[in-house]
Structure 1
Amino acid sequence: MEAINNFVSTINGFVWGPVMLVLLFGTHLVLTLRTKFIQRHIFKAIKLSVTPDHEAEGDVSGFGALATALAATIGTGNIVGVATAISLGGPGAVFWCWLTGLFGIATKYGEALLAIKYRVKDQNGEMNGGPMYALERGFGQKWLGIMFAVFAGIACFGIGNMTQGNSISTMVESTFNIPTWITGVVLMIATGAVILGGVKSIAKVCGKLVPLMAGFYIVGCIVIIFINGAYVGEAFNLIITSAFSGSAVGGGFVGASVMLTIRYGIARGLFTNEAGLGSAPIADAAAMTRNPVRQAMIAMSGVFWDTIIVCALTGLVLVSSILKDPVGLEGLNGGVLTAQAFNAIPVVGPIVLTIGLITFAWSTILGWSYYGERSWVYLVGTKAIKPFRIAWTLVVFVGCVTALDLVWNIADTLNAMMAFPNLVALLGLSGVIVSETKKYLWDDNLDGWTTDEIPVVEK
């Protein structure tokens, strides 16, 4: 088993190596330029996210789709991922993580636009969309759509289910001394109660859970930044300067070259917001929206909250904490580093972090359940829905009580395999993204109705 895990880790290192990172970040840049820096409309996008479009066709509100997507992306990557980037790439990695989010806004916009443009209805009248439909209906390459759906349909059980359940049960056991099997049973029942109701039930829960959990965590970060106030200015300066010079050994930081700083910053930034992976557009396709651009703008606001705000705050908390206590935090990594930083808030700090991680992980399970379900519906039809939901609920328990290093590595590799066909769709259909943006945004027609018919797929 160890040999298999090492082999998969080697493959994982290759598929998430420099080529994939350049391809992902390059797509961010291309779409940023082709959409005339769509990021400048971010505040208009935020306003749209809380503006209901009840008369439009769709399964859930635009905000509900955004909350479902955020549920799957705001997670341990924002907490543990940023800490890992700092531990391996130095404080400058925070800058590159943030920059990846800034340019990733354009990619998330393009993904959602194509998801709405090429979505279909299944025989139950529910919306289906995402990279697989864009590849088949827009790009004319169904085999790439099948490729994406297969990888997403398998990867979801790892990265979106088992690993998240394991994180929750492990944390609950270490914090409250509750056996993992008890957590598994409770989590399995709670998850089943939500996902058996479909996307409307998921969106309803996520719509309440996401703002609460994100707000809870953000307040905790702000309090720590206030406590570390004397070191925040120095932390900010260090993040900027070391982004272009690397970091020297000492002061609680490991030494890192500029290339390592850039590599880990970009890699963790991509993991935190999933822009380019193609998962979030599956949720966006279910949204009630009168035209593709409105929901695309709502979708891109998710990257703003996920990476520009949450990851930036986490980075400032961690770097200022290390500067404040270089000896106590030296050599710490991942969740352990973040946990120690949150100890700055007496008694309440560890509780805030624990609740944040648990809710983040559970919301990821809910969001990814919909991604996986729609992938299997694309492959075999609506008959897959009930078996998938039952299997997903049972696998939550398995994840809570099983060691998952191999599962995590396999899922990580499949995520990269998902990204490739999605990036093909984005680049190949970038002309469609531009024309739709011109039609509704640049020509000041955001309230205009699309004339595209949503086809019904009998399968």
Structure 2
Amino acid sequence: MTLLEDFIGSINDVLWSYVLIIVLIGLGLLFTIKTGFVQFRNLPEMFRVMFEKDQPTNKKKRGITSFQAFAISAASRVGTGNLAGVATAVAVGGPGALFWMWLIALLGAASGFVESTLAQIYKVPDKEDQYRGGPAYYMEKGLNNRLLGVIFAITITFTYGLVFNSVQSNTISLAFSGGFEVNQNIMAAVLAVLTAAVIFGGLKSIAKVAQIIVPVLAIIYIAMALFILLINISAVPEMFALIFANAFGLREVAGGGFGAAIMMGIKRGLFSNEAGMGSVPNAAATASVSHPVKQGFIQALGVFFDTILICSATGFIIISAGGYAGSDLDGIQLTQNAFAAHIGEWSEMFIAIAIFLFAYSSILGNYYYGESNIGYIKESPVALFIYRIAVIAMVVFGSVAAFDFVWALADLTMAIMALINLYAITKLYKIAHRALQDYRRQRKEGKSNPVFYRDVLDDESGVDYWERERE
């Protein structure tokens, strides 16, 4: 497998050292400016619409709530990227990698807003009183390019349903090996059974599980992290100074660490928050809302929730514990060691349980992205059954595979998927911006529940679901 690893690694070096860094930061900055800094200006509105009892325009109740759609996307976001990914970024790129994770989240939230708003605009109802949508749909309906939509659908199905799920199971396996000395083969069998039990239950089953697991677990994990920071409060100013010095320091530039900090921060930041990658819109499209912009707000908030809160907490704990540079430990085991250094060896077991629940919820969210896109290509019970079996097989594979290989494969497929989606949302940006202007206008007029009609768009072709105001 060494030749394959070397080949994948050489492609990743080109994509992540040059292409993705320029595209992600450049487009994130462009969307931020064009939308009038939507991710900052509309932050209070994001919290307001998160929990409001929405009144969709259609009388027939379809889809799931905004919060459930947020939970599904958070289930995919909050996982190994927050615990294992951050550890790897700091170990390889140094503390400065955390700064670049923040930057890609702050700018990427604007990209996340655009892609999720487009997903709502171009969503379609399905036969099960749900909605489907996402990049494949807005590529076909907005760009009039079904071929590109099919290519994206295949890419995201392979990336999330198969490759990313092997990363999640790999991290669970390593965590339980370190925390409980559980054999990797046993973990493979356990994960296979638990995954099969939920994914054969459908979207509503996934939404219910994610809605319970993610918020509770995130609160517990953040509380633990805050406790550790409080008992080490005197070291916080020095830690921030170290992060910024490492992110821009001349010593890091001379030694090559500057490039490593940027690349690892952006690479692991994107893996964690998924802003602009094209995954979250699949969940955003399932929500039942009165205006597409509402779900754009909620998913932009999810980027902050993931990176600014959870990734930062993990990074602070690892940096303050020290010992990460040159460590032989893999990903999640670095995080376990950092917790153990602060509050005792018992915490290694806590992290093993936490990563199990984080990563397991990610497996469920990842699975849905593939299911949705298989349905886009062709409604086929046989294809869906084969996909479910393949998901379970990759969960087993990831549990016993080498750490470096599964992460390298994830980086490659993630880069390809992101480039396809970023091209599409750049072409369709004006549609999302027009919807944002409409929403802001209605809120300025005093309307607490803005309603979207497709005739406010300059080009409403391909928009099938939303009514015309004059009808």
Verify same fold: TM over 0.5.
Answer: yes
Alignment check: 8 A CA contact 2:97 2:247 kept: yes
Q: AA paired with 1:339?
A: Q
Q: Please name the residue that 2:23 is paired with.
A: 23
1:75 to 79, 87, 90: 79
Distance of aligned partners of 1:72 and 1:85 in 2 relative to their CA distance in 1, 3 Å threshold: same
Q: Please name the residue that 1:307 is paired with.
A: 307
Distance of aligned partners of 1:87 and 1:169 in 2 relative to their CA distance in 1, 3 Å threshold: closer
2:448 is aligned with 1:449: no
1:184 to 188, 192, 214: 188
Alignment check: 8 A CA contact 1:293 1:441 kept: no
Q: What does 1:222-233 correspond to in 2, within 5 Å?
A: 222-233=226-237
Q: C-alpha distance in 1, partners of 2:183/2:56?
A: 48
Alignment check: 8 A CA contact 1:92 1:238 kept: yes
2:363 is aligned with 1:365: yes
Q: Please name the residue that 1:160 is paired with.
A: 164
Distance of aligned partners of 1:166 and 1:96 in 2 relative to their CA distance in 1, 3 Å threshold: closer
Q: Please name the residue that 1:436 is paired with.
A: 435
Q: Please name the residue that 1:175 is paired with.
A: 179
2:350 is aligned with 1:346: no
Q: What does 1:112-261 correspond to in 2, within 5 Å?
A: 112-246=116-250, 256-261=256-261
Q: What is the CA-CA distance between 1:403 and the residue it aligns to? A: 4.2
Q: AA paired with 2:191?
A: L
Q: C-alpha distance in 1, partners of 2:353/2:314?
A: 16
CA displacement, residues 13-71 of structure 1 (integer Å, 9 cap, x when unaligned): 22223111210111111110111001221232123212232656542111111111011
Give unpaired runs (5+ residues) of structure 2: 455-462, 467-471
Q: C-alpha distance in 2, partners of 1:179/1:350?
A: 16
2:30 is paired with a residue of what secondary structure? helix
Q: Please name the residue that 2:8 is paired with.
A: 8
Q: What is the CA-CA distance between 1:311 and the residue it aligns to? A: 1.7
Q: C-alpha distance in 1, partners of 2:262/2:441?
A: 34
Alignment check: 8 A CA contact 2:442 2:450 kept: no
2:343 is paired with a residue of what secondary structure? coil
Q: Please name the residue that 1:325 is paired with.
A: none
Count, aligned residues: 447
Greater Cα shift, 330-339 or 234-243: 330-339
1:17 is paired with a residue of what secondary structure? helix
Greater Cα shift, 340-349 or 237-246: 237-246
Q: Please name the residue that 1:88 is paired with.
A: 92
Q: C-alpha distance in 1, partners of 2:449/2:403?
A: 47
Q: What is the CA-CA distance between 1:405 and the residue it aligns to? A: 4.8
Greater Cα shift, 388-397 or 335-344: 388-397
Greater Cα shift, 111-120 or 226-235: 226-235
RMSD: 2.4
Q: C-alpha distance in 1, partners of 2:120/2:261?
A: 36
Give unpaired runs (5+ residues) of structure 1: 323-327
Greater Cα shift, 144-153 or 330-339: 330-339
Greater Cα shift, 347-356 or 227-236: 347-356
Query: TM-score normalized by structure 2?
Result: 0.88
